[in-house]
Amino acid sequence: MGKTVLSCRKGNGSVYQVHGHKRLGSAKLRILDYAERHGYMRGVVKSIEHEAGRGAALARVEFRHPYKFRRVKELMVAPEGMFTGQSVFCGQKAPLAIGNVLPLGQITEGCIVCNVEAKPGDRGTLARDRK
């Protein structure tokens, strides 16, 4: 492993520069709160977007804030079959359907899962896929 030669680096900018202007953001699930631990939250898929350098599509989901009068927008990995305008439920008592976010213990055996977190909020370190 050596250095990249000058002719390859020419025109690319600094060696230490991160080209992040095409990134939409980090794909995460909702932050686990009281409403999600004991019930469920309903969100609406506003758009499904493509990000350069990523194989899976990203869904921009809008939730109602549980305590304040405002909307919270989340960016999560869109599973196959999710569409714009779909209602997405997140929480302990959410129904089992495509796009919904449930604890792993609530999902029946044999179901296909697409984003598994080891700890709440670690952005799917165990498994992340769109199928």
Long-range pairs of 12-17 with CB within 8 A, sequence gap ≥ 24: none
> Does residue 56 lie within any of the structural domains?
yes
- DSSP letter (8 states) at residue 11: T
Q: What is the pLDDT of residues 4-26, one digit of tens each?
A: 887 777 776 666 666 677 889 88
Give the residue among 102, 94, 50, 96 at the shortest CA–CA distance from 75.
50
Region of residue 124 (left: phi > 0; alpha: psi -120 to 50; beta: else)? left
Instruction: Report pLDDT for 117.
Output: 86
Instruction: Report pLDDT for 5.
Output: 82
Q: Which amino acid is at 93?
A: K
Give the residue among 23, 33, 101, 112 at the shortest CA–CA distance from 67.
33
Please name every residue paired with 100 in a beta bridge, in sequence order, or none if there are none: none
Q: What is the pLDDT of residues 66-122, one digit of tens each?
A: 889 999 999 999 999 999 999 999 999 999 999 999 988 899 999 988 888 888 878
> Does residue 1 lie within any of the structural domains?
no
> Does residue 55 lie within any of the structural domains?
yes
Identify whether the C-beta of residue 40 lies closer than 8 Å to the C-beta of residue 70.
no
> Does residue 11 lie within any of the structural domains?
no
CATH number of the structural domain spanning residue 27? 2.40.50.140
> Does residue 15 lie within any of the structural domains?
no
**Residue span of the structural domain in which 84 resides:** 21-128
Q: How many distinct structural domains can be found in the chain?
A: 1
Residue 127, helix vs strand vs coil: strand
